[in-house]
Structure 1
Amino acid sequence: MDIAVPRRSNRLPGISMAGFRLRVPAPVDITMVAHPAVTLLIELGEGDGIVCDTSDRRERGSVVIGLMPGELRAGGGVGECLQIRLEPDVAAAALGASPELSGTMAPLADVWGRDAERVEDRLRAAASWDERFTIAADVLGRRLDARSPVDPEVAHAWRRTLTSRGLVRVDSLAGEVGWSRKRLWSRFGSQLGTSPKRLARLVRFDHAAHLLAAGHAAAGVATESGYVDQSHLHREVKAFTGLTPSAVAVAPWLAIDDIAWPASLPTRNPATAGNRIPNLC
C-alpha cells in the first residue's frame, strides 16, 4: 500500500486527509473500527471500486461513515482512495446537515447530492496527490464558509473532550460553557448526533488503542487512559472492537496510522519502533 499525506498548506482545522493506493493483484479486506471522527472515503480508482460493509449495511463506492460503534470492513483490489477525517463539530457543518453521526454509513451522493459526482470527477482528473489534497481542501473550506457552525459552547466542549483524551467530566464541561448538564447533552445530540459521554468514551478508547499499538503494556495503558483498571480497559476495547487489548496491539488497521495520521498519535515504544510500513509515495 502506498500512502500520501498533504502538505501543511493544504491542512484545515479539524480535518485530516490521506491518500491510499492499493497495489495488490486480488481484492483485499481492511478492517476499521471506531474512531472519533466522521470519515469520507472517496473512491478514485477504476473497476468495481471500494465495498464497505457494516453489520447491517453494504455500500459500493464513495461513502460517509459516522462515528463508528463497531467494526467496518472496506474491500477492493488495485485502486486509489482519498480518506478524509472530519472532527464531529466540523462534520456537522461540512456535511450540510445535523446528521446522526453514530453508527451510520451512507453513499456520499446521498449527503452531497450532485456535488459528490463533480468532486469525484475533479479528484480523479487531478495529476497528483498534492493537487487532489488542494481540491479537497478547497471544497471543504467553501462548504464550511457557507454554513453555520455548531454552537461555540458545543465546539468548546468537543475540543476539551479531545484535548483531555476523554477524561473531562460532563458536569465540568457544562460548567465551563455556562450551561446545565441537560442542555449540553441536548445540544450535543441535536448538533453532533451523539452524547458528550459517548464521545468521551470514543476519544479515550482511541487513545488507548494507539498506545497499545505503540507497544505500551496494557496495565500502563489502562492507567494513562483513565480506566479504573486493566479489566475496565479490556471491557471497553472488547465493546468497540470485539478484540482483546493484545489483539488490538498488533491489529493491521493501526499499522499505517503513524504514517497517514501522525499528528495525534502517542509516542511509540522504542522496543517496537521498527514495526511500521514505509511511506512509498
Structure 2
Amino acid sequence: MLPTGDPDWASVDIAVPRLPLRLPGISMAGFRQRAPAPVNIAMVAHPSVTLLIDLSDGEGLAYETDGRHGHGSVVAGLLPGGLRTGGQVGECLQIRLEPALATAVFGAPDLTGTVASLRDLWGHGAEQAENALRAAASWDERFTLATDFLARRLGARPEVDPEIAHTWRRTLTHRGRVQINALADEVGWSRKRLLARFRAQLGITPKRAARLIRFDHAAHLLATGHAPAAVAATTGYVDQPHLHREVKSFTGLTPSAVAVAPWLAIDRTTWPH
C-alpha cells in the first residue's frame, strides 16, 4: 500500500531543460525531494504518455492502480485510470511523450488505459538507462542522456502514420475543439478510415482524444484559480454542469477538487501551458 500524505512542493527541487529538446513532442522535468518523505499523489489524466523514471536509492517510487501494486520506473498510458504514485521518492525524472511518439519509443501499439513497468517494456535496457541517469553529474546531463535513449528507440521503430500524427497535433493545437470531418479532409482520408486508423494506432478514438485534450485545458484553468463557470465558457463546454460531468468522467472528482489536485499544482511551475 502507498503511504498517505500530499507532497510538500516547497521541499522539492525542480529542474527543466534550459534549451529546447531536439525531440519535438517530448518534454521532461526532474524532481528531487530535499528531505525524502512518504508521499501519495493521484495522477490526473493528461493528453500524453507519461514515463516516470525512478532515480532514488532504497525503496524509491511505488505505484498502484486498479488494485495492482508495483515499484520502480513506470509508464502510464493515456487515461491510466485511478493511478497513484508515491512512496519514498528521492529523485525522479518525468517524461511526457505525444502518443504517436510513445508508440515507437515503447514498442507498444496501444498504451491507452494501461500502466506498465518500464522493465516490462524495455527489458534490460530499462536498468541500463536508470543506472546511467542515476550516475549523471547534473540534471542537464540527465536530460541529454534521456534524449539520446529516446532518440535511439525512435530511430529503431516506425512511428504512426503521418496522417495520424497530424490529426493528433491539430487536435492538441486547437485544444480539442475540432471537427473530425475537417481533419479527415486535411489529411485526404475518409472519415471512416481516419477513425479506424487513429484508434488502431493510438488506442483511442479522435472524439475521445479531443475530449481528453479539452478536459486537460479546463483542468489547468481550474488549477490556476479560474471559476468553473468561466472555465466552461472559455473551453467550449455547453454550460457548467457539462464541465462538471466531464471532469467527473475523467477524474472521479468535482471541479473544485481538481482545482487543488497536487498533480496539477506542480504543473504551473514545471510544464508551461
Pair in the same fold by TM > 0.5: yes
Deviation at 1:209, TM superposition (A): 0.3
Asked if the contact 1:22/1:77 (under 8 Å) is kept, the reply is no
| Higher deviation after alignment, 17-26 or 74-83 | 17-26
| Higher deviation after alignment, 252-261 or 32-41 | 252-261
Of 186, 189, 204, which residue of structure 1 is paired with 2:196? 186
Q: Distance in 1 between matches of 2:228 and 2:155?
A: 43
Deviation at 1:215, TM superposition (A): 1.4
Partner of 1:113: 123
- 1:131 matches 2:146: no
- 1:143 matches 2:153: yes
Partner of 1:4: 15
Asked if the contact 1:23/1:78 (under 8 Å) is kept, the reply is no
Deviation at 1:32, TM superposition (A): 1.0
Q: Distance in 2 between matches of 1:11 and 1:210?
A: 26
Q: Distance in 1 between matches of 2:80 and 2:241?
A: 20
Of 43, 65, 68, which residue of structure 1 is paired with 2:76? 65
Partner of 2:180: 170
Deviations 1:3-57 (A, max 9, x none): 1111215452000001111234531111211100001111001111111111242
Deviations 1:257-281 (A, max 9, x none): 122111xx2xxxxxxxxxxxxxxxx
Partner of 1:238: 248
Unmatched 5+ residue regions in structure 1? 266-281
Distance 1:62 1:204, change over 3 A: same
SS of equivalent residue, structure 1 residue 76? strand
Partner of 2:4: none
- 1:54 matches 2:68: no
- 1:30 matches 2:49: no
| Higher deviation after alignment, 7-16 or 122-131 | 7-16
Asked if the contact 1:185/1:195 (under 8 Å) is kept, the reply is yes
Q: CA RMSD in A?
A: 1.4
| Higher deviation after alignment, 62-71 or 111-120 | 62-71
- Residue identity (%): 69
Distance 1:56 1:201, change over 3 A: farther
Q: Distance in 2 between matches of 1:245 and 1:65?
A: 23
Deviations 1:212-241 (A, max 9, x none): 111111111111111111100000001111
Q: Which amino acid aligns with 2:123?
A: G
SS of equivalent residue, structure 1 residue 246? helix
SS of equivalent residue, structure 1 residue 53? strand
Q: Distance in 1 between matches of 2:45 and 2:89?
A: 25
SS of equivalent residue, structure 2 residue 78? coil
SS of equivalent residue, structure 1 residue 8? coil
Deviation at 1:85, TM superposition (A): 0.4
Counterpart mapping for 1:224-235 below 5 A: 224-235=234-245
SS of equivalent residue, structure 1 residue 40? strand
Count of matched residue pairs: 262
Asked if the contact 1:34/1:71 (under 8 Å) is kept, the reply is no
Partner of 2:86: 75
Of 53, 56, 60, which residue of structure 2 is paired with 1:45? 56
| Higher deviation after alignment, 121-130 or 60-69 | 60-69
Q: Distance in 2 between matches of 1:172 and 1:202?
A: 19
Partner of 2:265: 255
Asked if the contact 1:45/1:81 (under 8 Å) is kept, the reply is yes
Deviations 1:180-219 (A, max 9, x none): 2221111112211111111111100000000111111111
Give structure 1 regions of 4+ aligned residues with deviation exceeding 6 angstroms. Answer: none
Q: Distance in 1 between matches of 2:81 and 2:237?
A: 20
Q: Distance in 2 between matches of 1:93 and 1:62?
A: 18
Q: Distance in 2 between matches of 1:119 and 1:63?
A: 13
Q: Which amino acid aligns with 2:86?
A: G
Partner of 1:97: 108
SS of equivalent residue, structure 1 residue 29? strand
Asked if the contact 1:101/1:194 (under 8 Å) is kept, the reply is no
SS of equivalent residue, structure 1 residue 50? strand
Deviation at 1:169, TM superposition (A): 1.7
Of 144, 152, 164, which residue of structure 1 is paired with 2:162? 152
| Higher deviation after alignment, 154-163 or 23-32 | 23-32
